[in-house]
Amino acid sequence: MDKRRIIKLLGNVPSKKNQRINTRSGRSFPSKAYTEWHHDALMQIKEMGHLSSWAEGYPVSLELQFIFGDKRKKDIDNRVSSIQDLLVDAGILEDDDYQHVNCIIATAVYSKGINEVSVKIEKGIFDGQ
């Protein structure tokens, strides 16, 4: 059984929470930048093939490494949420609640001019080892 998958996504992962458009009627929508990134990232995942429903029925742990191409301050916890939402929308995860995602490890590094994220998904309950 294949227990681990690694997905590399090119591009800067925007925060879904902090980049919302609010209308006068009180409705809120993701920004154009987030929507464009989400669409592009879904296409990248689709090109990888055979990932849909891969983790169905399993709890998973996620290990994310964000690579930022500049040294501006960035909040990685909101970007983690963007990745989780993407994995659900792509059909890789059933849901992003604690029963489906029981561990998240996120790191961030600087590498001049590179913007990408590496997502390692591992099936099974995280045991801390």
Kindly list the structural domains of the chain, giving each domain's residue range(s) and its CATH number in brackets, ordered by start: 4-123 (3.30.1330.70)
pLDDT digits (tens, 9 = 90+) for 60-91: 999 999 999 999 988 899 899 999 999 999 99
What pLDDT score was predicted for residue 4?
85
For residues 51 and 45, the answer to whether their CB atoms sit within 8 Å is yes
Report the amino acid identity of residue 64.
Answer: L
pTM of the model: 0.85
pLDDT, mean over the chain? 86
Phi/psi at 64 (nearest 5 deg)? -115, 135
The pLDDT of residue 26 is: 75
Count CB neighbours of 35 within 10 A.
15
Statement: residue 1 has pLDDT above 70? no
- The whole-number pLDDT of residue 49 equals 80
- Residue among 102, 108, 106 nearest 120 (CA): 106
Angle, helix 32-48 to helix 76-89, in steps of 10 degrees? 50
Q: Mean of the pLDDT values across residues 25-36?
A: 81
Q: What is the pLDDT of residue 50?
A: 64
54/51 Cα distance (integer angstroms): 5
